[in-house]
């Protein structure tokens, strides 16, 4: 990563106003505005100049957001389907991609014109993602891929996939992996929806049959895929655990508080109300401490990619979310028995127009928080072993060739 | 007297028969078909349960065409049904309504309705809770209107088990400064019924609207005590069903933990998973003690029955929810999918926790009864 530059807050605000003078969020669509924002180096100020940034500290990003919101009622936020591209795709392309890839891909990631997905997990390899089986074999200037990925969020909308595949089964698992950027429109890529607890399908199964990827779309060198993947996974944890709400009492807890304050009179006895109020307050405390801890972590974070500390927020947030939405259902009491949105199997989220419906949806959706992006058990292992330095579990797969390790 | 938790050979046989029947009729595909159907259950299976196994009339006296069994047999049936996630009117009709009729209704009504339940011909719903959301009799605000001999009901009843398909409704309402049980026919004027889109698709609930709907009072005097016991009997039965569900979740989890390999080892070899399973086991065992205790107390008409029922519902609710939540977690991404059954148990567990009063409600009841 290039050396960090310094710029005064005033100057950054001035540059943001220059952007707003050229295009104003209230007058143009999201793509148009975000393209210009990228060109001005105001997409991610901690990225280098020419690649959407100004080479500043990541802390300065908030200045840009603040200045935009001072001058515009319309905010073109990160498009929801672009969370993976922005949170994980952009940093990995920046760190390992060729100049050509950076030039072509980064602007479209930020503008939302191209959606990215992450294709790591397979039916046999989730927590142990380095144990994955998808094969990539060299053929001239291309690699030929065969196998199956699973749980691939937004694959059905994606233009590009960050993909990890096995290029050498004869060495220990971490050493035989390589990292590719897959064109999701390439022949042989088949995406099938996978429905989840809510009835919607955020994720998919993706089948690859003789799919060709040009060698130039490999990130890092052959056999170094694991190191590249680590960058993605650490960024994923930050993107997911990314630190709660920006404001005290904002985000999810505001929803719970609203539910509580607008609860039906008489639905609970006085004794139950006292218990529920305490539970809501505990959730509020957890929520606030998550926000403060993330704030502290951000302040400590130097430029560059995050380390294992990301797992603290990821773990805390996952467990807190589940508790928070369980509490919400208990606040609703008997009304929690109804699920107004119904369970239609489709690729979009069910309707959640009211705080009640949102709570019911989140009650179900939050169960994935302790699974997606690394399970809570794996987060605890990381904290125990990599942060606290506790001894690891006995390993049966460490120095064996991948093909000799038992798999289910 | 201490309750002995011995199941006789006949009990074991009954359990085996019900389990075999449900494995054939309420396997996962059958559950998914039933829960997506308009009535919410498979009529043919309900008929077979009544005719071949005598389950619909399990606790109904022989004089009314039932099998005349006790709450010990009922607990076995509920446990098996919970395990199989059976979609059926059993809890609403064979448990709640049968008990309400046997404990609170006049003889004419018993003679008229109970044989129909036992034969599987009549689905009967007990409508007690109202939109306020309280489950006990204290939540009943509906007031029966009398003019001469005629009686009518106006208002709304909520979360009525199978209320959308019931042939007969038993409605709890206030009268003469006390509580009464009223019979309403399914085609009565001013009655409107809607099925609720429920969190738990395996159990159907309805909202019933009454507008000067003709009703017949079938209880004498103040039926409070009889109906309170009816509700507690419902709670004890539900606790047994929760135990069956929790036990199944434990089994699903342990099986998976033994066979799913990550990092070259079964995930059950990691203490994070092994200890989850062990904790589930402790809770399932406690839940069994709680539910069995309540149902044996019901069977023996023990004086601490109300206590045992409140204890069972509060403990079994939380044990089941925890087991179901851990089942999702132990199955990883798979546990979060629609195609895996974990979510069906998870939703059943949460809904059962809320049904008939949540754990804090029952702990409050228990605290009062035991003088805490
Ligand atoms: C909503 C959702 C979206 C997702 N999106 C994506 C995506 O876009 N791209 C992608 O590549 N993947 C995605 N995933 C997959 C996700 O990363 C995996 O589900 C996750 O890593 C767990 O893997 P698994 O499901 O195979 O469970 P397993 O790894 O089989 O885990 C099963 C259980 O065993 C436990 N376990 C496993 N190993 C250990 C250990 N060593 N010690 C203790 N416990 C252990 C786990 O904690 C879990 O409880 C998504 C998952 C979900 C639920």
Q: Is residue B60 part of a domain?
A: yes
| In a shared domain, residues A144 and A176 | yes
Q: What is the pLDDT of residue A302?
A: 53
Cα(B332) to ligand 1 centroid in Å equals: 5
Q: For residue A200, is pLDDT > 90?
A: yes
ipTM: 0.96
A83 lines ligand 1 (CB under 6 A): no
The single residue of A122, A236, A309, A356 carrying the catalytic annotation is: A236
Cα(B335) to ligand 1 centroid in Å equals: 10
| In a shared domain, residues B192 and B166 | yes
- Rounded to an integer, the average pLDDT of A85-102 is 95
CB B95, CB B234: distance < 8 Å: yes
When pLDDT is cut at 50, 70 and 90, the band that residue A5 belongs to is confident
| In a shared domain, residues B97 and B192 | no
| In a shared domain, residues A148 and A244 | no
Q: What is the pLDDT of residue A49?
A: 96
CATH code of B91's domain: 1.10.540.10
> Distance between CA B349 and CA B353 in Å, rounded?
6
B221 lines ligand 1 (CB under 6 A): no
Identity of the residue in B133, B200, B336 whose CB atom sits nearest the CB atom of A368? B336
Neighboring chain A residues of B337 at a CB cutoff of 8 Å: 194-197
The strand pair at A203-214 and A142-149 is best described as antiparallel
When pLDDT is cut at 50, 70 and 90, the band that residue B156 belongs to is very high
Q: For residue B213, is pLDDT > 70?
A: yes
- Rounded to an integer, the average pLDDT of B4-21 is 94
Q: For residue B367, is pLDDT > 80?
A: yes
Q: Is residue A399 part of a domain?
A: no
- Rounded to an integer, the average pLDDT of B64-68 is 97
Give per-residue pLDDT as tens, B218-257. 999 999 999 999 999 999 999 999 999 999 999 999 999 9
- Rounded to an integer, the average pLDDT of B341-368 is 97
| In a shared domain, residues B21 and B137 | no
Q: Across B20-69, where does the E strand assignment appear?
A: none
- The phi-psi region of residue B321 (left if phi > 0; otherwise alpha if psi is between -120 and 50; otherwise beta) is alpha
| In a shared domain, residues B204 and B232 | no
Q: Is residue A108 part of a domain?
A: no
With a CB cutoff of 8 Å and minimum separation 6, the contacts of A230 are none
Residue A217 token pair:
């779309």
Q: Which residue has the tokens 């694991």?
A: A226
| In a shared domain, residues B364 and B236 | yes
> Distance between CA B325 and CA B329 in Å, rounded?
6
Domain boundary among the residues A173, A208, A225 is at A225
Counting beta carbons within 10 angstroms of the beta carbon of residue A79, is it exposed (0 to 12), middle (13 to 18) or buried (19 or more)? Answer: middle
* Sign of the torsion formed by the C-alpha atoms of A383, A389, A393 and A396: positive
Instruction: Kindly report the nearest CA distance between residue B371 and chain A, in angstroms.
Output: 15
Q: Is residue A99 part of a domain?
A: no
Domain count of chain A? 3
Straight-line distance from the first to the last Cα atom of chain A, in angstroms, rounded to the nearest whole number: 40
CATH code of B352's domain: 1.20.140.10
Q: CA B44 from chain center: how many Å?
A: 20
Return the H-helix or E-strand segment holding B49: helix B43-51
CATH code of A253's domain: 1.20.140.10
Cα(A121) to ligand 1 centroid in Å equals: 8
> Rounded mean pLDDT of chain A?
92
Q: Is residue A87 part of a domain?
A: no
Q: What is the pLDDT of residue A303?
A: 47
Q: Does residue A267 belong to the interface with chain B, where contact is any CB pair within 8 Å?
A: yes
| In a shared domain, residues A250 and A221 | no
Return the H-helix or E-strand segment holding B238: helix B224-259
> Distance between CA A76 and CA A23 in Å, rounded?
12
- Rounded to an integer, the average pLDDT of B281-306 is 97
Q: Is residue B152 part of a domain?
A: yes
CATH code of B212's domain: 2.40.110.10
Domain boundary among the residues B201, B222, B243 is at B222
When pLDDT is cut at 50, 70 and 90, the band that residue B217 belongs to is very high
Q: What is the pLDDT of residue A266?
A: 85
| In a shared domain, residues A253 and A357 | yes
Identity of the residue in A267, A337, A405 whose CB atom sits nearest the CB atom of B132? A267
Q: Is residue B322 part of a domain?
A: yes
Higher pLDDT, A242 or A55: A55
Q: Does residue B333 belong to the interface with chain A, where contact is any CB pair within 8 Å?
A: yes
- Residues of chain A with pLDDT > 70, as a percent, come to 94
Neighboring chain A residues of B338 at a CB cutoff of 8 Å: 195-197, 199, 345
- Rounded to an integer, the average pLDDT of B299-304 is 95
Lowest model confidence (mean pLDDT) among A71-80, A122-131, B22-31, B141-150: B141-150
Q: Is residue B13 part of a domain?
A: yes
| In a shared domain, residues B174 and B260 | no
- Residues of chain A with pLDDT > 90, as a percent, come to 80
| In a shared domain, residues B180 and B71 | no
| In a shared domain, residues B179 and B276 | no
CB contact under 8 A, B332 and A343: no
Q: Is residue A245 part of a domain?
A: yes
Q: Is residue A341 part of a domain?
A: yes
Q: Is residue B2 part of a domain?
A: no
> Distance between CA B154 and CA A397 in Å, rounded?
70
Domain boundary among the residues A194, A225, A256 is at A225
> Distance between CA B360 and CA B367 in Å, rounded?
10
Burial B42-67 (b: 16+ CB within 10 A, else e): beebbebbbeebbbbbbbbbeebbbb
Give the Cβ contact number of residue B272 at 10 Å.
16
Domain boundary among the residues A225, A257, A280 is at A225
| In a shared domain, residues A220 and A265 | no
- Rounded to an integer, the average pLDDT of B83-102 is 98
| In a shared domain, residues B208 and B246 | no
| In a shared domain, residues B158 and B251 | no
When pLDDT is cut at 50, 70 and 90, the band that residue B3 belongs to is confident
Query: Is A236 an active-site residue?
Result: yes
Q: Which residue has the tokens 């595949």?
A: A165
CB A166, CB A402: distance < 8 Å: yes
CB contact under 8 A, B133 and A269: no
CB contact under 8 A, B332 and A381: no
| In a shared domain, residues A173 and A70 | no
Lowest model confidence (mean pLDDT) among A404-408, B238-242, B289-293: A404-408
| In a shared domain, residues A236 and A379 | yes
- Decide: helix, strand or coil at residue A69: helix
Q: What is the pLDDT of residue A64?
A: 96
Q: For residue B331, is pLDDT > 90?
A: yes
- Rounded to an integer, the average pLDDT of B152-175 is 98
Q: For residue A176, is pLDDT > 60?
A: yes
Q: Is residue A326 part of a domain?
A: yes
Domain count of chain B? 3
Q: What is the pLDDT of residue A1?
A: 46
Instruction: Kindly report the nearest CA distance between residue B130 and chain A, in angstroms.
Output: 10
| In a shared domain, residues A215 and A283 | no
Give per-residue pLDDT as tens, A339-369. 999 999 998 888 788 999 999 999 999 999 9
Q: For residue A4, is pLDDT > 80?
A: no
Q: Does residue B133 belong to the interface with chain A, where contact is any CB pair within 8 Å?
A: yes
Give per-residue pLDDT as tens, A363-380. 999 999 999 999 999 999
| In a shared domain, residues A236 and A369 | yes
CB A181, CB A152: distance < 8 Å: no
- Rounded to an integer, the average pLDDT of B292-314 is 97
Minimum Cα–Cα distance from A121: chain B residue: B333
Q: Does residue A374 belong to the interface with chain B, where contact is any CB pair within 8 Å?
A: no
Domain boundary among the residues B174, B189, B222 is at B222
Q: What is the pLDDT of residue B2?
A: 63
| In a shared domain, residues B256 and B364 | yes
- Rounded to an integer, the average pLDDT of A389-399 is 91
Domain boundary among the residues B180, B198, B222 is at B222
When pLDDT is cut at 50, 70 and 90, the band that residue A242 belongs to is low
pTM: 0.96
- Rounded to an integer, the average pLDDT of A88-105 is 96
Q: Is residue B73 part of a domain?
A: yes
* Rg of chain B, C-alpha, whole Å: 21
Q: Which domain holds residue A34?
A: 9-77
> Distance between CA B70 and CA B90 in Å, rounded?
15
Q: For residue B325, is pLDDT > 70?
A: yes
| In a shared domain, residues A244 and A355 | yes
Q: What is the pLDDT of residue A308?
A: 65
| In a shared domain, residues A49 and A139 | no
Q: Which residue has the tokens 């891929």?
A: A145
Identity of the residue in B265, B267, B337 whose CB atom sits nearest the CB atom of A195? B337
| In a shared domain, residues A236 and A382 | yes
CATH code of A184's domain: 2.40.110.10
| In a shared domain, residues B245 and B132 | no
Neighboring chain A residues of B133 at a CB cutoff of 8 Å: 264, 266-268, 333-335
Q: Is residue B3 part of a domain?
A: no
Q: Is residue A83 part of a domain?
A: no
Q: Which domain holds residue B206?
A: 124-222
Could you write out the DSSP letters of every residue in A179-225?
A: EEEEETTSTTEEEEEE-BTTSB-SEEEEEEEEEEEEGGGEES-TT-H
Q: Is residue B137 part of a domain?
A: yes
Torsion of CA A21, A24, A27, A32, to 10 degrees: 110
> Distance between CA B165 and CA B39 in Å, rounded?
7
């Amino acid at each position: 990563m290039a050396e960090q530059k310094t710029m005064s807050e005033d100057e950054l605000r001035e540059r943001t106003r220059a952007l707003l003078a050229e295009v104003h969020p209230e007058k143009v669509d999201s793509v148009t505005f975000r393209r210009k924002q990228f060109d001005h180096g105001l997409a991610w100020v901690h990225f280098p100049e020419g690649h959407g940034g100004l080479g500043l500290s990541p802390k300065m990003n908030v200045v840009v957001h603040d200045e935009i919101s001072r001058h515009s009622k319309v905010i073109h936020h990160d498009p929801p389907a672009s969370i993976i591209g922005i949170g994980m795709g952009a940093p990995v392309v920046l760190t390992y991609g060729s100049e050509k890839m950076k030039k072509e891909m980064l602007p479209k990631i930020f503008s939302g014109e191209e959606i990215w997905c992450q294709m790591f997990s397979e039916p046999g390899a989730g927590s142990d993602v380095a144990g994955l089986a998808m094969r990539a074999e060299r053929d001239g200037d291309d690699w030929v891929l065969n196998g199956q990925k699973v749980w691939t969020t937004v694959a059905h909308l994606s233009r590009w996939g960050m993909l990890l595949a096995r290029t050498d089964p004869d060495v220990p698992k971490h050493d035989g992996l390589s990292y590719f950027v897959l064109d999701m429109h390439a022949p042989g890529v088949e995406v099938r929806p996978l429905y989840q607890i809510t009835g919607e399908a955020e994720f998919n199964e993706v089948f690859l049959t003789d799919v060709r990827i040009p060698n130039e779309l490999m990130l890092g060198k052959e056999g170094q895929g694991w190191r590249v993947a680590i960058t993605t996974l650490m960024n994923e944890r930050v993107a997911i655990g990314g630190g709660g709400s920006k404001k005290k009492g904002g985000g999810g807890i505001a929803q719970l508080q609203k539910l509580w304050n607008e609860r039906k009179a008489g639905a609970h006895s006085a004794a139950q109300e006292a218990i529920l109020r305490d539970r809501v307050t505990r959730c509020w405390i957890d929520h606030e401490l998550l926000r403060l801890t993330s704030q502290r972590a951000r302040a400590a974070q130097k430029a560059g990619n995050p380390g294992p500390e990301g797992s603290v927020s990821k773990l805390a947030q996952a467990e807190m979310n589940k508790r928070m939405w369980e509490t919400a259902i208990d606040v609703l009491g008997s009304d929690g028995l109804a699920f107004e949105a119904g369970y239609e199997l489709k690729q979009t989220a069910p309707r959640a127009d009211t705080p009640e419906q949102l709570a019911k949806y989140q009650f179900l959706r939050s169960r994935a928080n302790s699974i997606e992006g690394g399970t809570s058990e794996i987060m605890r292992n990381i904290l125990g072993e990599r942060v606290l330095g506790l001894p690891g579990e006995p390993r049966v797969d460490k120095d064996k060739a991948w093909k000799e390790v038992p798999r289910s | 007297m201490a309750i002995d938790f011995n199941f006789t050979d006949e009990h074991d046989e009954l359990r085996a028969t019900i389990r075999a029947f449900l494995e054939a009729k309420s396997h996962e595909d059958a559950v998914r078909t039933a829960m997506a159907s308009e009535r919410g259950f498979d009529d043919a299976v309900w008929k077979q349960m009544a005719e071949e196994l005598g389950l619909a009339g399990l606790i109904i006296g022989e004089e009314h065409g039932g099998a005349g069994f006790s709450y010990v047999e009922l607990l076995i049936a509920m446990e098996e049904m919970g395990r199989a996630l059976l979609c059926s009117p059993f809890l609403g009709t064979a448990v709640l309504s049968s008990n309400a009729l046997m404990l609170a209704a006049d003889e004419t009504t018993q003679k008229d309705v109970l044989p129909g339940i036992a034969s599987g011909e009549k689905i009967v719903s007990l409508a007690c809770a109202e939109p306020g959301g309280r489950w006990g009799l204290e939540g009943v605000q509906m007031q029966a209107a009398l003019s001469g001999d005629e009686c009518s009901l106006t208002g709304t009843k909520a979360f009525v088990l199978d209320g959308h398909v019931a042939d007969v409704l038993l409605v709890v309402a206030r009268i003469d400064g006390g509580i009464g049980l009223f019979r309403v026919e399914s085609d009565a004027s001013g009655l409107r019924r809607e099925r609720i889109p429920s969190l738990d698709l395996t159990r159907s609930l309805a909202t019933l609207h009454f507008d000067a709907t003709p009703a017949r009072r079938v209880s004498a005097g103040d039926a409070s005590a009889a109906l309170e016991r009816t509700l507690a009997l419902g709670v004890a039965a539900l606790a047994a069903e929760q135990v069956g569900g929790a036990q199944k979740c434990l089994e699903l989890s342990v099986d998976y933990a033994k066979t799913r390999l990550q990092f070259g080892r079964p995930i059950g070899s990691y203490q994070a998973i092994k200890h989850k399973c062990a904790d589930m086991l402790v809770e399932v065992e406690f839940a069994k003690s709680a539910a069995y205790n309540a149902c044996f107390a019901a069977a023996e008409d023990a004086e601490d029955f109300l206590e045992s029922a409140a204890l069972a519902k509060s403990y079994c609710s939380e044990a089941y929810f925890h087991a179901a939540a851990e089942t999702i977690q132990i199955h990883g991404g798979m546990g979060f999918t629609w195609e895996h059954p974990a979510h069906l148990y998870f939703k059943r567990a949460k809904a059962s926790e809320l049904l008939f009063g949540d754990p804090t409600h029952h702990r409050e009841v228990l605290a009062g009864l035991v003088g805490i």
